[in-house]
Each structure stands twice: as C-alpha cells, then as structure tokens.
Amino acid sequence: MEHKESSVGHARLRLAAHDNRPAPCYVYCMATLPPQLRATLHPGWLRRLRQDWTNANVQQLNSELKLPVLCIDTGAQVRLGQWQPRGRVLSISESHILAQSWFEVVDTLRHEIAHQYVSEVLRVTDETSHGAAFAQTCARLNIEASAKASYSAQDRENVDRVLLKVQRLLALAESDNVHEAEAAMAAANRLLLEYNLEAQAAKNKSNYGFRRLGKPAAALPIETKLIGGILSQFFFVECIWVTCYNALLNRDERVLEIMGDPTNLELASYVHDFLHGAVDRHWNLAKVKLGRSDVSTRREFKGGLLTGFSHKLREERAGQAQRGLVWVGDPALRGYYRQRHPNVSSMSSSGWHNSEAHQAGQAAGRTLQIHHGVTHQGRGGGLLAGS
C-alpha cells in the first residue's frame, strides 16, 4: 500500500495548527542524492530502518511479523512509503528521509508495517486499505490511521481562556515596581496551579498530547538540560529526552519531548523559548562584568542562572502550599507518559563549583521574570518573552 504525502497528516497534524513544533531536524536542498552519497548513506539508513522495524514488531506486535525486504525508494517524490505484498517489499522514499525528521520517517515506516500486518497476519481482503483492521493495527503501533487534529474547539476555548488571564497578569510583571512585578508573577503561578488542581479534581484532563522542543543535538548544553528540569518541575508537563536519528550524519541525537494537556503544552513551549533567550541575554551582559568568556565560566554562570530561577519558583510553590494549594502530580498524565515511553532511563545530574560566575548566575536567576504578553505565535514570535 502506498503512503502518499496527502496521507502523512497523521504524523504532522497530531497537535493541529497550534502545535508550534520546530522545523524538521534537517532538510536537504536536493530532491535526490548523487550516487556517491547514496552509496555512503543508504546502508546506514537501511540498518536503522531494520532496527526500528524490529522494535515495532517486538514491542507492539508480539514478533508476529517476518522481516520484509527493506529498501530506499529513490524515484518517489510524492509517495512517502509503500508496502508491496508481492515480493514482500517495504520501501521508504529517499526524498522523505532527506526532507523530514526521523520521527516522521518512523511514523511512515509504522504505517507501512500496519499494512504488512493486515496483509500477512490478519489476511484481511474484504476491506479498504485503510479500513477497520488497518485502524486497529495502527492503534497497536501508536500511530494515527489518518490525519486527525487532537485540538477540539473546546480545547482551543480552554487554552484561550487560561492564556488570556495569564496574559493580563504577566503584563503587570513588566512594572518597574519590583513588588508589583513579583506579585504579578506569583499570581500567574497561582492561577496555573489552580487551573491544574481544578482540572484534576474534575477529571477532565484526558486529552494529552506531546511536543518536541528545540534542536536535536549529539551533546546537550547544560542550560538545555536544566530548562527541561524546570519545565518538568513547575509547568505541569512530563519531560523526557528522546533519541532522534540524524540521517545525514548517521548518528543518534537527543531532543526534549514534553507531554501534557493543550494549555500546559502551550505555556511550557513558550517558557522553554523564553528561558533559552534569557540565558543568552544575561550571559552576554555577565561576561563583560566578569571579564571572562571561557567555556567553564559560561557553563557555571548559565547553570547558576537557571538554578537561581528554579529556587525562586520552588519558593513560590512553597508559598502556595502554605495557602492550601498543593500539587502532588497528575497520575493520568504519568500513565500517558508510561504508555509512550515504557522503557525509561534516568539522566545523571551535574555538579557545580561555588564560583564567582555561578554566584552571579544565581543572583540573576532570582530576579528573572517571565513577562510580556501571551500571543498565539509560532517559534520566533514568542508567547512569553522578557529580559
């Protein structure tokens, strides 16, 4: 069965138009590769496709399938993938691999695995290619059977309602009056905590989704790791570092994935962008005052900045607890997390020297305010921005 561009929406539209995920990990400007590069790259791609095929077969389909002939389709421009029962050939388009992230390539691969399963295990012949048997198999493989946006009108209304209130509060955080700014930030944090407590009590937070934030990298900078920890601790999302295969460099990289309900995904995504921007701005100022810009000093300062900001958020959360607002987590979200990532390994934490740079960073972090208006813009436009 062919998997054409028009049907790849299950991979790209999972969180609808408001899923402001970053651009693909890598985009090659040519439609096809020259022969010498094909000879270099295709063997690695086929090994990776075989590995991902095996993982899906073992983990989701109880090893019921037999390995097909895997190939890279160098001629397809519109077709992303295809399962051909005659000859047992499962092909993935070369142009698809070059133009999209490996996450989407794996979605296409699993789409074709579903066709293979219907053909060779279920042996269904009296349904359309995307009929009930195919849809059930896609569910087992954790992919959408067709393009489907997970944001309903009610979801969008709820997101807008909460973000509008947060916008009004964060506008006050721009005040030159330090006490007024601090009070506005505390009120915004209290509003988010109350929203999540109310939603959990009503048991209506079941429409979870995910986003991947930032650019995949083989080595993650310290600020990237710490920002992921801040989102997980204080912004009502679950976080995990997931592997993203870079097909052009033939290597594994990692990228941050967050999981949560639509409102929390929206806020956490833009807090992520804000913090990355704030870290860079504060470092550019601090390196002049410190008189040093070496790698160690930069690492210590950025670590201190985010540690100080984290301490500030923790103190605000403790203040809310004294008022009776205690967050103990979301078991349903944790279940969604476990379903998506049944095999999870932990990441070790980093230590710090009590250096001048680290102390300067902590001081700056304790004054950091997330402010400016909340708007529905894509990456680069900013939802939460500040200094």
Q: Which pLDDT does position 7 carry in this prediction?
A: 36
DSSP readout, 311-372? HHHHHHHHHHHHTT------HHHHHHHHHH-SS------------HHHHHHHHHHHT---BS
CA dihedral 109, 115, 120, 126 (to 10 degrees): 180
**What residues pair up with 336 in beta bridges, in sequence order?**
none
Question: What pLDDT shows up at residue 384?
Answer: 38
Helix (H, G, I), strand (E, B) or coil at 30: coil
Enumerate residues 6+ apart whose C-beta is below 8 A from 119: 83, 85
Residue 365 pLDDT: 55
Query: According to the model, what pLDDT value does residue 313 have?
Result: 80
pLDDT tens per residue, the chain (387 residues)? 656 543 333 332 222 223 333 333 333 334 568 889 999 999 999 999 999 999 999 999 999 999 999 999 998 677 899 999 999 999 999 999 998 999 999 999 999 999 999 999 999 989 988 999 999 999 999 887 654 334 566 666 776 777 777 666 665 555 555 556 566 667 777 777 777 777 776 665 568 889 999 999 999 898 999 999 989 988 889 999 999 999 999 999 999 999 998 888 888 887 888 888 888 888 898 888 888 888 888 888 888 888 888 888 888 778 777 666 667 678 888 888 888 887 765 444 444 445 566 566 566 655 555 555 444 443 333 333 344
Q: At what angle do helices 295-322 and 262-290 cross, to 10 degrees?
A: 130
Q: Taking the complete model, does pTM exceed 0.85, yes or no? A: no
- Look at residue 28 in the predicted model and tell me its pLDDT: 35
Which of 186, 310, 269 lies closest to 18, judged by CA?
A: 269
| Angle 52-54-57 from CA coordinates, rounded to 5° | 110
Q: Do β-strands 251-260 and 238-246 pair in parallel, antiparallel, or remain unpaired? A: antiparallel
Q: Residue 309's pLDDT is what?
A: 82
- DSSP designation for 67: -
| CA nearest neighbour of 162 among 185, 196, 200, 210 | 196
Look at residues 22, 31, 38 and name the one whose alpha carbon lies nearest to residue 250: 38
**327, exposed or middle or buried, with CB in 10 Å at 0-12, 13-18, 19+?**
middle
How many C-beta neighbours within 10 Å does residue 355 have?
17
Angle at 293 between CA 289 and CA 295, to 5 degrees: 140
